Amino acid sequence: MCIAALPALGAGVGPLFAASLGLNLVSGLAQRSAAQAAAEQQYQSAEIANRSAEQAFAAQQEGLAAQLKESRASQAQEKQAATIRGLQARGAIKASGRTGLTVDLLLADQERQTANFRESINQALESASRQYGRNVDGLTAQRDDRRNQLTSNINQAYNQIPSLGSVLLNVASQGISTYGQLLPS
């Protein structure tokens, strides 16, 4: 439509109109290309950030696992020490040479104290294990949140790229507008 009507604009205006259309097309394609490059850069940056998030997650999880391992080892030593102390106390009670109900009560009391101490150590160990699980869940949530944000940023960048059709429609729209302004009244 516009190309067929170029002669109606006159000899001097026709080439300017065609140049205007060409510049609008080149400008639109350049904007599209720049948006594609920005989206690609965003994607590359997100890949790097995702690798970093994975490495941070692994390092933090490793640190938590080492902490739990140390806690378990320490508590195992405490349990062993409690058992030894209990056995030594029982031995001392038996070595005293006493017999009867009082000795039986002392032995039972010592056994109860040792068992209570060992149970408190077991409970502390179970609590540490549960806390480890909660901490790992928290780290996983942090990592997933970072991933989701990176994915959102990538999608947003790619959504900013104008389609080729929209670039061509924009050029045609600007051409029609310019053509209307250049027609002699």
- pLDDT tens profile 36-50: 999 999 999 999 999
The per-residue pLDDT for range 65-117, each reduced to its tens digit, is 999 999 999 999 988 988 888 888 888 877 877 777 777 888 888 889 888 98
Q: What span, in angstroms and rounded, lies between the C-alpha atoms of 68 and 108?
A: 33
Residue spans of the domains in the chain: they are 6-182
Query: Sorting pLDDT into bands at 50, 70 and 90, what band is 2?
Result: very low
CATH class held by domain 6-182: mainly alpha
Q: What span, in angstroms and rounded, lies between the C-alpha atoms of 168 and 24?
A: 9
The model's pTM: 0.66
Query: So what's the pLDDT on residue 105?
Result: 83
Q: What span, in angstroms and rounded, lies between the C-alpha atoms of 51 and 57?
A: 10
The per-residue pLDDT for range 132-143, each reduced to its tens digit, is 999 999 999 999
pLDDT surpassing 50 at residue 1: no
Interior angle at CA 34, CA 31 and CA 40, nearest 5: 145
Q: What span, in angstroms and rounded, lies between the C-alpha atoms of 5 and 183?
A: 10
Per the structure block, which two tokens stand in for 94? 């038996």
Q: Looking at residues 2-20, what average pLDDT do you find?
A: 64
Q: Which amino acid is at 113?
A: Q
DSSP 8-state assignment for residue 100: S
